[in-house]
Amino acid sequence: MKKLNAASFAAVFILGYLFWLLITGQIIAIFSGTASGQILIAGVVVCAVVAFFSAGFFIHEKAFHLLNPMRLVMFLGYCICIFPIELIKANVVMAVRALSPKLDIKPGIVKVPVDLKSEYAQAMLANSITLTPGTVTVDIAEDTEEDGRTYFYIHWIEVETEEPEEAGEKIKGTMERALRRVWE
């Protein structure tokens, strides 16, 4: 756990309160002038308590890291363009495989090198890989004995190659490069 600071608290509080306003329908009520004071105050209290206890766990070293306009644009580009394209490609491959008369698969676990240093980038890449059909990130390990690189162990439904670099290129696609620009 990182030390709680004002920026981390503020970031979690603001994000939490915006989410509170969305799920309670108060954003529309604020603009129409019919907002409930009790719901707004309850949101402040709940979000302040949540921010106090969780900000040290969830926030990047720089609490407003994604508020840098270029990083935010790159993050949105990843979420709107890059990841959906990789997702569609993986879905098409899995659909073809599932609909073929002969289910010819070669499942296995491959060790894939990852050149991301940020824990946020690693977590986002691992989750993106897991969300694409045919792959599941099983473990993230730092191999300090060999070269100090981080490796993902990925269950791949169709192991096309066991060579780590080549397997990494096939599985990660363009996602790793895009996440490096966002988080590092």
In the predicted model, what is the mean pLDDT of the chain?
Answer: 87
Q: What is the pLDDT of residue 166?
A: 92
Q: What is the pLDDT of residue 47?
A: 94
Q: What is the pLDDT of residue 118?
A: 83
* Band of residue 146 on the pLDDT scale cut at 50, 70, 90: low
Residues ≥6 apart with Cβ < 8 Å to 174: 82, 85, 86
CA atoms within 13 A on the CB side of 41: 3
Q: What is the pLDDT of residue 69?
A: 84
Q: What is d(CA 129, CA 137) in angstroms, rounded to the nearest whole number?
A: 7
Instruction: Give the model confidence (pLDDT) of 39-81 as tens digits.
Output: 999 999 999 999 998 887 776 666 666 677 888 889 889 999 9
Is the pLDDT reported for residue 183 higher than 60?
A: yes
Token pair in block for residue 117: 């240093």
Least trusted range by pLDDT, from 10-14, 55-59, 117-121, 150-154: 55-59
Domain ranges of the chain: 6-63, 67-183
Residue of 155 and 34 predicted with greater confidence:
155
Least trusted range by pLDDT, from 1-5, 36-40, 42-46, 131-135: 1-5
Q: What is the pLDDT of residue 30?
A: 83
* Burial of 86: CB neighbours in 10 Å, binned 0-12, 13-18, 19+: buried
Residue of 55 and 146 predicted with greater confidence:
55
Q: What is d(CA 111, CA 154) in angstroms, rounded to the nearest whole number?
A: 7
